Every structure is written in structure tokens, then in C-alpha cells.
Amino acid sequence: MRKRTLRAYCLSMAIVRLKIDVSGTVGDQAWRELKQFDQIQSADFGPQFGSGGRCNHSLQAEHQKGEWIGAEIRLQTPLLAQYAVSHYLEQDRVLDADVVE
């Protein structure tokens, strides 16, 4: 019974994908400076969630104009995911936010 309950919980999780403008920042600075939605279960940032292309600069150099990196936010319900999309889209560095079906 416990296994089924855990599986049902995992299946009900909602995912929001973000495109974050990283231009003019270094490393994951843009991600760290975002105001995160209060009810997230987990959040991850990195090119595995999409990017505007390969960074052609050193890790200590600023990202160039037009560079973006993706992020994935997990929430407990689809309704919370919709609220999270609104929350993130209000922030200057967030270029796009969508609920993943």
C-alpha cells in the first residue's frame, strides 16, 4: 500500500520550466538572485533544462547578451504550478515560464 501511495504522490507533482536571462551575470548568479516561489517542492537550474547555446567564455566571465539557461521547479499540484508561473513571470530575468504536462 505504501508503494502505491508514494507512486500516486509522485505522479501528481506538477513541473514548471523557466527560461532565465543570465546575460551580464557570472555562473548561477541570476538563478540565486531570483525570488523563489514559497510552495516549491524542489528546484534545479542548468543547461540540462535548456539553454540559448553553449557558453563560449570562462567560468569567471560574465554571460554574454542573449544567453539564457533553463530551470525546473516541482510543485505538489497543478494549481500551485499556475500560481508559480505568475510569480516567476513577474521577475525581470525570467523570459518564459510554462507548466509541463
What is the distance between the alpha carbons of residues 67 and 53, in angstroms, rounded to a whole number? 7
What is the distance between the alpha carbons of residues 47 and 35, in angstroms, rounded to a whole number? 20
Contact status, residue 85 vs residue 18, Cβ threshold 8 Å = no
What is the distance between the alpha carbons of residues 65 and 21, in angstroms, rounded to a whole number? 9
For the stretch 8-18, pLDDT in tens is 445 578 999 99
pTM of the model: 0.84
For the stretch 61-77, pLDDT in tens is 999 999 999 999 999 99
Other Cβ atoms within 10 Å of 15 Cβ, number: 17
What is the distance between the alpha carbons of residues 26 and 61, in angstroms, rounded to a whole number? 6
CATH of domain 2-100: 3.30.70
The position carrying cell 508559480 is 84
pLDDT at 7 over 80: no
Q: In the chain, where are the structural domains located? A: 2-100
Query: For the chain, what percent of residues have pLDDT higher than 90?
Result: 77
For the stretch 28-41, pLDDT in tens is 999 999 999 999 99
